[in-house]
Structure 1
């Protein structure tokens, strides 16, 4: 595979597309349509890689950056329709900041019969330890621990959690309601049983980057038992998610406590939670991106996405609804529009070597 054409939406002073085009022998075109047609009259590429992230774009009232992922995608679809040929598209990270736009993108793929893949590298990176949810097994709850800012890092954490819980008995049924809370209310919700302290402890046990006393003298520590967790996290956030089948899961964004992404779930009839860390190799050796590239190559070679775009569709809509909950005063919001049903592939999709 090789890059044959490129479209760049914004070109700041440090932008390198023209230099790379000269180095590797491809052409930078002024429009997406011309890039897909390589300057000709008909589509002349076999696949599309769309990264609608870099650049300066406005924000909405939810503090989401309005990246033009949907607009890029629709420009491709227009060419597919005009030229009578469609090719697979990989869309980096979110499908869109808006659920209706994201749904239209997935629907376009089904309507025109081309593979659509999207999402984060977290679901396909290595796991420490190498575990997965047993396929079609009943789950009783799940907790994901994430770090970073709200949109995009909470998106990555939500998608990592979703790639685990979508394997539960009966498959994915969609999200019935969400609520985003923060501050001391997060800890109170844990004490009240709205999310599981046991699962948080199991998730934190997989972290390689606990802060506090470990940083001071290298000692191991129980962040919850010692009370250090509550001192380290200035403003925790909990994304409380209720699914249509009655299952509940929570994302806890715990900036200051750890520096990695960890997950735990309670399986029916299992006495001990299953837990793991989504391993992110340190910079500059970010080889977890290569794990995602392998899935993109599979899409391009087969025309079939290795896992459903509906996963990213549901996560995109869940995040948007959580941010609306926060914007409206941290209220619980019912989400009948997130009635997204799908089955995850039976084979595990994360890196294992």
Structure 2
């Protein structure tokens, strides 16, 4: 059988860029199940939007024998007249792009995706697409992208590596479980790292009874108001303690003299996280979830939930191996590889669409001074995959 032909559509191709993380693994392979796996894929074309200092696109093309084209359409057609690839990677993360008034980086993911759709429509054929990370900074654009995929009948896999990385401990909530409340803690800036944290939480709560039903309202607050909300019971301190207990990178005294510490009980959390942010999400089915971004206090992404009839919270850390080589990216590459092989995305694109809307609306709430924002446009409904998709013993495939 001939190898699948792959086009890469990228913002930049530099050291430690997302394009390097993903495209390189399709070029040279990656570890899977205790072996070195080489995907049955040939990268045949590349489009790169920007070439900053340290650009690797020309060097990779020369080393691996593919062409770099000046437009997306030419890359998909490999310089010819019709679509000439079997799959597409759209990797638009990193690069010199402006921010809007909400602080969102205006990555042209939508424009890149629509350029592919235009080729599909013109040539009368479509192929599977991986869209790295968020669909778009705009929920309306994300809705349109998913609608395009449904209309033309091509699979889309999107999102972050966090939902598929290893978990410490290896926790997967039971399918159709009853979740009473959930909380996530994370670290990093907006709107890059909060996206990762929101999607990690979403991959856990989508397994609840009835699946995802949509989002009724959101609110985002920052600063001391986050701690005040905790005192008012807006989020569970028991779940926060459980999530923090999974952190391997507490700051403060742990950095200074190596001692273990109860960040929440001693008040160190408030002292270290001087600019916290809280994202409150109320789902249509009544579930309430919270993301706390705690820069300065921790360096991990951890989740906790209270399940009905369970005496103790369920919690885990989404494990991020060292940089480089960012091995957790291989967990997601294995899912992309699976989609190219089977023609079916193993992860519902509606998960990414749900988070796209949550983040867009939360940042609108923040821009408006932290108001509670009703979200009647956010009625994305879907069910979680039956089989676990993350790296670890719970998954049948990628277990390394």
Q: Segments of 4+ in structure 1 off by > 3 A?
A: none
The match for 1:252 among 283, 288, 292 is 292
The match for 1:155 among 195, 213, 226 is 195
State the distance in 1 between where 2:312 and 2:54 align: 51
**RMSD of the TM alignment (CA)?**
0.8
C-alpha displacement of 1:54 = 2.6
1:292 match: secondary structure: helix
Counterpart position of 1:102:
142
1:4 match: secondary structure: strand
Counterpart position of 1:221:
261
1:117 aligns with 2:144: no
2:331 match: secondary structure: helix
1:337 match: secondary structure: coil
1:29 aligns with 2:78: no
Counterpart position of 1:171:
211
State the distance in 2 between where 1:277 and 1:235 align: 22
State the distance in 1 between where 2:153 and 2:317 align: 36
State the distance in 2 between where 1:12 and 1:261 align: 31
State the distance in 2 between where 1:344 and 1:187 align: 33
State the distance in 1 between where 2:237 and 2:250 align: 17
The match for 2:317 among 273, 277, 298 is 277
C-alpha displacement of 1:216 = 2.3
1:200 aligns with 2:200: no
1:275 match: secondary structure: strand
2:377 match: secondary structure: helix
1:36 match: secondary structure: helix
State the distance in 2 between where 1:334 and 1:164 align: 23
The match for 1:289 among 300, 315, 329 is 329
1:182 aligns with 2:222: yes
C-alpha displacement of 1:190 = 1.0
C-alpha displacement of 1:238 = 0.4
C-alpha displacement of 1:279 = 0.1
State the distance in 1 between where 2:257 and 2:149 align: 53
TM-score w.r.t. structure 2 length? 0.87
1:107-137 C-alpha deviation (Å, 9 max, x unpaired) = 1111111110100000000000001111101
Counterpart position of 2:133:
93
1:321-343 C-alpha deviation (Å, 9 max, x unpaired) = 00000000110000011110000
State the distance in 2 between where 1:273 and 1:199 align: 7
Tell me how many residue pairs correspond in the alignment: 353
The match for 2:89 among 29, 45, 49 is 49
1:167-210 C-alpha deviation (Å, 9 max, x unpaired) = 01110001100000111111111111111110000000000001
C-alpha displacement of 1:58 = 1.3
C-alpha displacement of 1:346 = 1.3
1:14-64 C-alpha deviation (Å, 9 max, x unpaired) = 222112111110001111111001011110000000011232111110011
1:212 aligns with 2:252: yes
- For structure 1, list consecutive stretches of 5 or more residues without a partner in the other structure: none
TM-score w.r.t. structure 1 length? 0.99
State the distance in 2 between where 1:54 and 1:200 align: 31
C-alpha displacement of 1:101 = 0.6
